[in-house]
Chain A
Amino acid sequence: MPSFVALPEVATVKRREFRSTLPALLFLALFFVVPVIALLLRSVLEPQPGLQNYVELLGSSTYLKVFFNTFMVSAVVTIVSLTIGFPVAWTLAIMPSRWAAIVFAILLLSMWTNLLARTYAWMVLLQRTGLINKMLMGMGLIDKPLALVNNLTGVTIGMTYIMLPFIILPLYGTIRKIDPAILQAAALCGANRWQALTRVLLPLTVPGMAAGALMVFVMSLGYFVTPALLGGTSNMMLAELIAQFVQSLVNWGMGGAAALVLLVVTLALYAVQLRIVGNESEGGR
């Protein structure tokens, strides 16, 4: 690089980068921030000014249970997605690229298929008279149909299936970036396979895992269709509660309050993630 070209100061670059994001910020302000503020106002103004909506929401054991369900289901889905997604991402990363392309195509195709259609497909597979139960009973493995749907099991299966791509794709990116020579170096230093995996590889994939896990967790928190169709009412999640307030009871004060609690929790989680992973991934570059 010719040395007479003055390199811009870091601060100038940052300012310029920021300026180029202005249209996007404006768009967000108009179509996201303003409605959120309107919602906040409703939650403290309807039906009369005050905090009664929040008091009712956080003071009722039923609604607290819905909050608990929401976090519990999201956590379970995240853990199961990670457990299944990690080996898949790993296999994809070391596969010949032609085969990997086919697997990716399948993965993306399922992502682009209508959510409702996919959820109904699970319903047909999982119900008591569904394919899976009929097969298991036909093989004599069970004599009473398993309860796979209208409960936590159904929600977990349906949501994990939908969330898998969101964990596989970032993990795949992270794993691909790992230099295979690192493994050789580990072996040369006397690490056995298990040590190479747990002490070298896994720590290197943490940013990818954290990014994927957080995305899945946050998306799960606000999920509506799948829990509504595959879960029972006793596993009700927050998005369903909000839908009831907004659509059926037409109580927007409570709906707004519930939505804001969800938003605050999500933002807090995001801040935590930035703190833990943000620094690390920047250093990694």
Chain B
Amino acid sequence: MKTTFASAVFAAALAFSTSAFSAEIVFSSWGGTTQDAQKAAWADKFTAETGTTVLQDGPTDYGKIKAMVEASGVTWDVVDVEGDYAAQAGKNGMLEKLDFAVIDRSKLDPRFVTDYSVGSFYYSFVIGCNVDAVDACPKNWADLFDTTKFPGKRTFYKWSAPGVIEAALLADGVAADKLYPLDLDRAFKKLDTIKGDIIWWSGGAQSQQLIASAEAPFGSVWNGRMTALAETGVNVETSWEQNITAADSLVVPKGAKNKDAAMKFIALATSAQGQADLAAATGYAPTNLDSAALMDPEKAKTLPDQQTASQVNADMNYWAENRDAIGERWYAWQAQ
């Protein structure tokens, strides 16, 4: 009994001392190879520079952010979220305003900056295809929606987010500059034509598994996941035609305990070097306009920011406004 009491006191003292004397912040992201790269490119360097430990947590969960903020028990200091969520949550009072005296916004791609968020990295939905498993690979969204020319299962992102609806409209012949406001009726009608042939992926690793095993030999995937898959020796082809870009954002939940350290962490993460390192490791594009100059030109060529020829930018502001309405309809359609 005595020993347990003593050890409890010791544990409490230890907990107190760590919180009082050695600073630490908590970073939440989506796990997998992307978070590993974020840890290497940002967290480890931040710890080396400032002595502040960065604890990794995740996966990011918007319900958890809401619960933390409402209960005033915010345990995440910096969170990697999707861009459309960031734009909406900032307006809804879920996020701290970022301190642009600490974070240099002058070099950041303005498409991905708001008062509450900065771009974490940006990615493209591209058409990935397992070359060894099929006779021909779909090159654009119209191909991917064509089950006569390209029979078999195809994979798409399961959650309501920028990307799939845009792809359906582009496949149906809507011009890229006429996408917004999204014609949802038309998009769902187009999606209906291939609904039975879709296998949904809910996480990046699953998309890789589906394509590598040829369970669904082609589909709409994050470009970085195909880069990673190619590195493991799978013969995959990436078509950048009409690639649809969307960004992840870094945010600080309202009431985060280590706000100052969080701002410094974001400053490092969005610095030219921080963004260049992450891009080199993931195949996603940097959101700092100076990063490309710091990268191996061969590698830089393969990133989404170089694939601008037929690129389509998902409109994050439109999504922020309509996120709830689209989401409800999306899930209802899926369940039918």
Contacts and interface: CB of A to CB of B under 8 A. Distances in A.
Contacts of A150: 199
Q: Which 3 A-B pairs have the closest CB atoms?
A: A233-B334, A62-B332, A246-B63
B192 interface: no
Contacts of A228: 202
B159 A249 contact: no
B155 to A, nearest CB: 11
A63 B336 CA distance: 9
Interface in A225-260: 228, 232-234, 236, 241, 244, 246-252
A241 B335 contact: yes
Contacts of B215: 127-129
Between A129, A228, A248, the greatest number of chain B beta carbons within 10 A of the residue's beta carbon is seen for A248
Interface string A47-72: 00000000000001011011000000
Contact of A236 (B199, B328, B335): B335
Interface in B166-184: none
A250 B335 contact: no
Interface string B323-334: 010011001101
Given A127-B215, A247-B64, A249-B327, 9 more contacts: A60-B332, A127-B213, A129-B214, A241-B331, A247-B61, A248-B159, A250-B62, A250-B66, A252-B63
Between B64, B159, B334, B335, the greatest number of chain A beta carbons within 10 A of the residue's beta carbon is seen for B335
B302 interface: no
Nearest to B195: A234
A248 B335 contact: no
Interface residues of B, number: 23
A145 B253 CA distance: 48
A129 B334 contact: no
A66 B334 CA distance: 11
10 contacts: A60-B332, A63-B332, A65-B335, A127-B215, A241-B331, A241-B335, A248-B160, A248-B327, A249-B324, A252-B63
A163 to B, nearest CB: 23
B327 A234 contact: no
Contacts of A60: 332
B184 to A, nearest CB: 15
B131 to A, nearest CB: 16
Interface of B: 61-64, 66, 153, 158-160, 199-200, 202, 213-215, 324, 327-328, 331-332, 334-336
Contacts of B334: 233-234, 236
B336 A250 contact: no
Contact of B336 (A65, A127, A252): A65
A249 B328 contact: yes
A283 B227 CA distance: 67
Contacts of B62: 247-248, 250
A66 B63 CA distance: 21
Interface in A59-111: 60, 62-63, 65-66
A146 to B, nearest CB: 13
Contact of B63 (A62, A65, A241, A247): A247
Contacts of A128: 153, 215
A66 B200 CA distance: 18
B328 to A, nearest CB: 7
B32 to A, nearest CB: 14
Contacts of B153: 128
A249 B88 CA distance: 11
B59 to A, nearest CB: 10
Nearest to B159: A248
Contacts of B214: 129
A234 B335 contact: yes
A63 B331 CA distance: 10
A236 B158 CA distance: 12
Contacts of B327: 244, 248-249
A276 B327 CA distance: 43
A60 to B, nearest CB: 7
A241 B328 CA distance: 10
A209 to B, nearest CB: 33
Contacts of B158: 233
Contacts of A65: 335-336
Contacts of A66: 335
B11 to A, nearest CB: 23
A27 B158 CA distance: 38
